[in-house]
Amino acid sequence: MKQILLFATLIFGAFAMHATDEAEYETYRITWSEISALVENNPDSIKSLIDRAALGDTTLRTKELLVAYMGKSFFGASPFSESRDARSALNEEKIDSAMVLIEQAIKRNPLSLSNNYYYVVCALTQNPQISDYQAMQQDENLKLAVARFNLLLEAIYYSGNGSQEYPYKVTCVDDEYTFMSQGLDLPRPTNQSLTKDGHDMFKLPAHSSTLYTGQEIHFDATRILQLEQNLFNPN
């Protein structure tokens, strides 16, 4: 499994290399209220962006990717882990079951960073003969999952900078952890709290990554909290 995770990380490595080249970058400070207004006033336009992102459309501009990612949460996305069952099956080496579960998760939400990441992990575990990038390109579903993953990684990366003032935007907790590990090469943090600003804030050990040098990282949990409230209090 460690070798599979390493190869998956190498597949996604192009983004991380790009991130290190961007000492300063423009963030797209789109608010959830702005996305809500866009969905309400022009839902077909948002759905079109979502469909294009789900197809791995690399012609989408970064801001369009972010609108698609954030907008998907208004069309049936869950704030809870959709890849957890697949991860559990993988840990139990039930590879075929894991693939079925992650395919179901992808179908429910193709714009989940974690769903696409674990689809790749499942596919590589199920097909060990896929041992290099060229071989991966022959599997259309795998190639699509990688394309979506990198697009979503880009969207989240440019949604903020991880500070309290400009937290990264996410639509589920799983995407926070996947973004930290696969996008910023951070170890899994153990110190997490919900701030009064509605942020998931993680304390980080010093010098834990060359891609993110802060001592803490913030994610805007506004939409996650809204979705959870809607589930438990639908009226």
pLDDT given at position 210: 84
pLDDT given at position 235: 57
pLDDT given at position 27: 73
pLDDT given at position 6: 38
Distance CA 162, CA 209 (A): 14
Distance CA 203, CA 120 (A): 29
Residues of the chain under the 50 pLDDT cut: 1-8, 10, 14-24
Distance CA 120, CA 124 (A): 6
Tokens of 69: 């990612």
The order of strands in the sheet holding 191-194 is 168-169, 216-220, 199-203, 191-194
The CA distances from residue 194 to 54, 82, 166, 200, in Å, are 30, 21, 15, 5
Distance CA 47, CA 53 (A): 10
Kindly state the DSSP code that residue 192 receives in the 8-state scheme.
E
Tokens of 183: 């996008």
Let me know: does 218 contact 189? Beta carbons within 8 Å: no
pLDDT given at position 47: 96
- pLDDT, tens only, 86-132: 888 888 889 899 999 999 999 999 999 999 999 988 888 888 777 66
Range of the domain at 6: 2-232
Tokens of 101: 């579960």
Per DSSP, helices labelled H in the chain are 2-11, 13-21, 32-41, 43-54, 62-72, 84-91, 95-108, 113-126, 133-136, 140-157, 173-178, 222-232
Count: domains in the chain? 1
Let me know: does 13 contact 21? Beta carbons within 8 Å: no
Distance CA 29, CA 36 (A): 14
